[in-house]
C-alpha cells in the first residue's frame, strides 16, 4: 500500500493521536556544506562526529539557531512530519535565513514529493524552484573543491566552465574550513544551478561589498520579517517548481526540501558567498512566530495529486538518451493509453510478456499516445527506436 491510498486512514489515525503535526522541518536527512569560514562551527564539529551525527547537529542548530552551507553547492536536505500542501495562489514554504540589508546570500531551493513512498527523496523526485534569476543562471554547473595539504591553506576549486579560485582562509576564523567529517575525501563535487554574482564592490578596491537581493524564489535572500510578519519575499510557492527542461510541474505538495548555496563569488573581507539556513516551515499556519501552529484544515487537492502521479508516478518509466534526452512514458489509467512526448519522429512497438507484438507504428514529434485499452492489466515492453522499457498497465 502507498500513502496516496492511505490518506483517509492516516487522517483517522492522526486524529486519534495526541501530537499535532509540526509546521517546522522535523529532520535533516543530509548536511554537506562546501568549504567555508563557518564550517565546523555552525554547527560545531567535535572529534569523532560522522556524517550522521553532523546531520543530527544540523537539525538541532537549524531549528534553534542557524547552520552554514559554506561556499557554492554546499547543501542540506530536510523532511517534514507531513506533506506541505501546495495551496493555489499562495506561497507554501517559509525559509528563515540571516539576511540583513546588503547581505543577501541566495540559496537555490529544490522540492520533492515522495512519489514511491519510501521515506526518502529519490533522484527523479526532485524539482527546482524557478526563482527570479533562473534565466540569468548557469545550469548544469559543477564545482570541485580540493582538500588542502594543511588546514592553514586556502582551498582551491575548479569548475566545468573553465573557472578556478580559492576559498581563502581569514584571520577571524582559524578552524579548518574543510568539513572534518569528510576529511577522507580528496575532493568535494557539487552540481546544480549557478546563480549570477550578486556582490558589488562599492569601494572599487575590494574593501566594501554590497550583496544585492534577488526578486524571489531563494533562501537567505530576503529578511525573515517584514511589517511584523513572516516576509512574503522569504517564502516559496511550490507552483514555481520546474523540471530539468524548465517546464512547470504542478505538484500536490512537498515532503522534502533541498537548499544549496547558489552563488560562487568571493567578496573581499566578507569572504565567500555562503547561504545560512534556520527553520524551513510550512507557511500554512494559524499562528506565526517562534511557535508556529499548522493549519490542519488544509488538505491536498486530489485532482492535482492524481494528475501528478499519472505524469510522474509509479506507473511511469523512462528511456534514457533517445535523441539526447530522456523520454518519459507514463500510463494513464483513465484512458488506457501509454503517453509520451518525443523530440523527433521514430518507431514505437509494444510487446506483451509472451513476446507477441501488439503494436508497431511510427510517431511524430510532440505528444503521442499508444492505446492499450483493449489489453489486460499487467506488464508490457515498449520499444522506442530500438531501446526498451517496461510499463505497468493498472
Site residues, Ca ion (CB under 5 A): 86-87, 90, 92, 98, 105, 114, 116, 118, 120, 122, 220, 237-239, 274, 276
86 or 264: whose CB is closer to Ca ion? 86
253 or 346: whose CB is closer to Ca ion? 253
Count the alpha carbons within 13 Å of 387 in the hemisphere toward its beta carbon.
14
Smallest gap, in angstroms, from Cβ of residue 256 to Ca ion?
Answer: 8
Smallest gap, in angstroms, from Cβ of residue 246 to Ca ion?
Answer: 19
Smallest gap, in angstroms, from Cβ of residue 284 to Ca ion?
Answer: 9
156 or 250: whose CB is closer to Ca ion? 250
Smallest gap, in angstroms, from Cβ of residue 348 to Ca ion?
Answer: 29
114 or 382: whose CB is closer to Ca ion? 114
300 grid coordinates: 491536498
24 or 300: whose CB is closer to Ca ion? 300
- Buried/exposed 294-305: b ≥16 CB within 10 Å, e otherwise: beeebebbeebb
Nearest residue (beta carbon) to Ca ion: 274
210 grid coordinates: 554590497
Smallest gap, in angstroms, from Cβ of residue 354 to Ca ion?
Answer: 32
Alpha helix ranges (H) inside the chain: 7-16, 51-64, 302-312
274 or 389: whose CB is closer to Ca ion? 274
Smallest gap, in angstroms, from Cβ of residue 14 to Ca ion?
Answer: 21
119 grid coordinates: 521515506
90 or 173: whose CB is closer to Ca ion? 90
338: CB partners within 8 A, 6+ apart: 329, 330, 331, 332, 350, 369, 370, 372, 380, 382, 391, 393
Nearest to 282 by CA among 58, 115, 81: 81
> Whats the size of the chain, residue-wise?
394
Q: By the 8 A CB rule, do 264 and 72 touch?
A: yes
96 or 239: whose CB is closer to Ca ion? 239
Smallest gap, in angstroms, from Cβ of residue 215 to Ca ion?
Answer: 17
> Reduced to 3 states, what is the DSSP secondary structure of residue 1?
coil
Q: Is the dihedral of CA 204, 206, 209, 215 positive or negative?
A: positive
DSSP, residue by residue, 347-370: EEEEEETT--EEEEEEE-SEEEEE
Smallest gap, in angstroms, from Cβ of residue 24 to Ca ion?
Answer: 19
Amino acid at each position: 500500500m502507498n500513502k496516496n491510498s492511505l490518506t483517509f486512514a492516516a487522517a483517522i489515525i492522526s486524529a486519534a493521536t495526541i501530537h499535532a503535526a509540526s509546521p517546522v522541518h522535523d529532520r535533516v536527512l543530509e548536511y554537506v556544506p562546501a568549504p567555508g569560514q563557518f564550517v565546523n562551527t555552525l554547527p560545531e564539529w567535535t572529534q569523532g562526529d560522522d556524517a550522521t551525527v553532523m546531520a543530527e547537529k544540523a537539525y538541532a542548530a537549524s531549528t534553534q539557531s542557524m547552520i552554514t552551507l559554506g561556499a557554492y553547492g554546499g547543501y542540506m536536505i530536510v523532511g517534514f512530519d507531513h506533506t506541505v500542501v501546495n495551496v493555489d495562489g499562495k506561497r507554501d514554504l517559509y525559509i528563515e535565513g540571516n539576511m540583513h540589508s546588503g547581505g543577501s546570500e541566495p540559496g537555490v531551493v529544490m522540492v520533492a514529493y515522495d512519489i514511491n513512498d519510501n521515506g526518502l527523496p529519490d533522484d527523479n523526485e526532485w524539482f527546482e524552484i524557478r526563482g527570479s534569476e533562473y534565466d540569468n543562471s548557469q545550469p548544469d554547473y559543477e564545482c570541485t573543491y580540493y582538500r588542502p595539504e594543511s588546514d592553514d591553506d586556502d582551498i582551491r576549486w575548479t569548475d566545468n566552465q573553465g573557472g578556478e579560485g580559492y576559498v581563502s582562509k581569514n584571520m577571524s576564523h582559524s578552524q579548518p574550513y574543510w568539513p572534518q567529517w569528510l576529511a577522507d575525501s580528496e575532493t568535494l563535487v557539487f552540481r546544480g544551478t549557478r546563480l549570477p554574482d550578486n556582490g558589488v564592490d562599492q569601494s572599487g578596491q575590494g574593501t566594501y561589498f554590497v550583496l544585492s537581493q534577488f526578486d524571489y524564489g531563494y533562501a537567505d535572500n530576503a529578511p525573515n520579517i517584514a511589517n511584523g510578519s513572516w516576509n512574503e519575499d522569504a517564502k516559496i510557492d511550490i507552483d514555481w517548481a520546474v523540471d530539468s527542461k524548465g517546464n512547470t510541474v504542478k505538484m500536490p505538495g512537498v515532503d522534502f526540501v533541498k537548499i544549496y548555496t547558489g552563488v560562487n563569488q568571493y567578496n573581499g573581507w566578507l569572504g565567500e558567498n555562503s547561504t545560512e539556513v534556520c527553520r524551513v516551515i510550512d507557511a500554512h499556519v494559524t499562528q506565526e512566530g517562534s511557535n508556529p501552529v499548522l493549519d490542519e484544515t488544509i488538505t491536498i487537492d486530489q485532482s492535482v495529486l492524481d494528475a501528478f502521479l499519472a505524469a510522474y508516478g509509479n506507473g511511469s518509466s523512462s528511456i534514457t538518451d533517445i535523441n539526447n534526452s530522456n523520454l518519459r512514458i507514463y500510463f494513464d489509467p483513465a484512458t488506457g493509453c501509454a503517453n509520451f512526448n518525443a523530440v523527433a519522429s521514430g518507431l514505437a512497438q509494444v510487446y506483451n510478456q509472451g513476446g507477441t507484438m501488439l503494436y508497431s507504428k511510427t510517431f511524430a514529434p510532440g505528444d503521442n499516445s499508444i492505446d492499450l485499452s483493449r489489453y489486460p492489466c499487467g506488464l508490457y515492453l515498449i520499444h522506442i527506436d530500438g531501446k526498451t522499457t517496461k510499463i505497468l498497465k493498472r
